[in-house]
Amino acid sequence: FGGITANLGAVGLGAESGGNWRRVIIEKPFGKDVDSAKTLNRELHENLSEHQIYRIDHYLGKETVQNIMVFRFANGFIEPLWNRHHIDHVQITVAESVGVEHRGAYYEEAGALRDMIPNHLLVLLGFVAMEPPNSFESQAVREEINKVLDAIQPLAPEQVLTHAVRGQYGEGTTPGGEQVPAYRSSPAVDPASRTETFAALKVQMDNWRWAGVPFYMRTGKRLPAQYTEIAIQFKKAPLTMFKDTATETVNPDMLVLRIQPDEGIQMSFGAKIPGPSMRVGTVNMDFCYADYFGNKPATGYETLIYDCMSGDATLYKHADTVEKGWEIVQSVMDVWSALPPRDFPNYAAGTWGPEAAGALLRNDKRRWRRIKTPQP
Ligand code: BG6
């Protein structure tokens, strides 16, 4: 990207003159770690001003991602609950049922962590955790997202062992019943590859709103579903009034923001099961986008390219945001490369990742939300 923008600059295509604009959209990877991201930003800035650089992250263009802001800031009822007093923890899942397909050469260098977490998953986390911006102007929104990233405590090397999990899929069966080969048998992949196709991370934030509230993230290829969601688990009621009933076995109250597919918002809570005895069961209130707005399939890119043409950078990434994203995962990358995995492949295609991903939450007396898998 540095070379391309240098050449654009050399032939005068970077210069904005006579009231005309010149903008360059840049797709990830924005480097592969903190240092290379800084180098790339420096190279870009040699020929372009920051306001001309549009770093695209297609998750920011997804309607449901933008709706997180609307849900939180256009509705008075939710904001008072949106903090450490009421929220126990947050789970972000970006699951893909596809394998690495024909991108083996790129993926071997990247892996699940680099490919997804510093960019897409942190975008989702940023929208969930940000403070209300003063306006929806690009600078105001970007500043709040950057504050969230600044507040995330980077993991110390010894914490990486307990707060981060990696996995690689072996052969297995998709939910549709198809037998699929292991990652190591994919085109352009080393048959002894140590690249991870699954990554999970627990992070915490040093700020008043979120102190003590863990955010768990997981993403991977060849999982049982193609599905992205954010699940916000609320704290239990302070008093277990119905303790002599079946209440304690009821699932905790949960708000699920379904990003894709089947976009919507679901609230799960306890309700009395009709009958003479007091029994409490979990019920769901469910809003589906399709019911109200129809189905408008979009990847996110459509919105973003239009925004760039109209000069709106709100949903694009500033140089700082990219560098901060890398800073959060740098210690994980360092420890993982210093200690190559010995147990790969450690999950079968068509399952929810390695056993250690479950243990990450079990150690905190929590568990991943059970996500429905498509039936064959
Ligand atoms: C890309 C990653 O940025 O996002 C891919 O490089 C991944 O590996 C894709 O499959 C996921 O995007 P979406 O929109 O399908 O969730």
Maximum distance among all alpha carbons in the chain? Answer: 81
Q: How does residue 349 score in pLDDT terms, banded at 50, 70 and 90?
A: very high
38-76 pLDDT tens trace? 999 999 999 999 999 999 999 998 888 889 999 999 999
Determine the pLDDT at residue 139.
87
DSSP string, 187-222: TT--TT----SEEEEEE-B-STTTTT--EEEEEESS
Q: Strands, E, within 179-335: which ranges? A: 179-180, 198-203, 215-220, 227-234, 254-260, 264-272, 280-288
Percentage of the chain modeled with pLDDT above 90: 77
Ligand 1 centroid, distance to 120 Cα (angstroms): 8
Q: How far is the CA of 299 from the centre of ligand 1 (A)?
A: 10
Q: Which of 194, 156, 66, 162 is nearest to 361 (CA)?
A: 162
**Which pLDDT band, with edges at 50, 70 and 90, does 300 fall under?**
confident
Angle at 126 between CA 365 and CA 338, to 5 degrees: 65
Per-residue confidence (pLDDT) for residue 8, from 0 to 100: 94
Nearest CA to ligand 1 atom 10: 96
- Ligand 1 neighbours by CB, cut-off 6 Å: 58, 96, 115, 299
Instruction: Give, for ligand 1, the residue of 115, 219, 228 to mutate: max count of ligand atoms closer than 8 Å to Cβ.
Output: 115
- Long-range contacts of 294-300, Cβ-Cβ distance < 8 Å, separation of 24 or more: 296/63, 298/61, 298/62, 298/63, 299/58, 299/61, 299/62, 300/58, 300/59, 300/60, 300/61, 300/62, 300/65
Q: What is the pLDDT of residue 136?
A: 85
- In the chain, the N- to C-terminal Cα span, in Å, equals 43
Q: Rounded CA gap, 201 and 213, in Å?
A: 14
Mean pLDDT within 69-84: 94
Which single residue is written with the structure tokens 């939450």?
361
- pTM for the model stands at 0.94
- Range with the poorest average pLDDT among 14-23, 190-199, 239-248, 349-358: 239-248
pLDDT over threshold 80, residue 375 = no
Q: Is the pLDDT of residue 189 over 90?
A: yes
Say if CB 223 and CB 96 are below 8 A apart.
yes
Q: In this structure, what token pair is assigned to residue 134?
A: 């003063």
Write down the pLDDT at residue 250.
Answer: 65
Helix count and strand count (H, E) for the chain: 11, 14
pLDDT at position 63, please?
Answer: 86
Grade residue 229 by pLDDT with cuts at 50, 70 and 90: very high
- In angstroms, what CA-CA distances link 28 with 85, 114, 116? 37, 10, 10
149 and 126 Cβ atoms separated by less than 8 Å: yes
Q: If you compute the radius of gyration of the chain from its CA atoms, what whole number of angstroms results?
A: 22
* Mean pLDDT (the chain, rounded): 92
Helix (H) / strand (E) element for 249: namely none
Q: What percent of the chain has pLDDT over 70?
A: 97
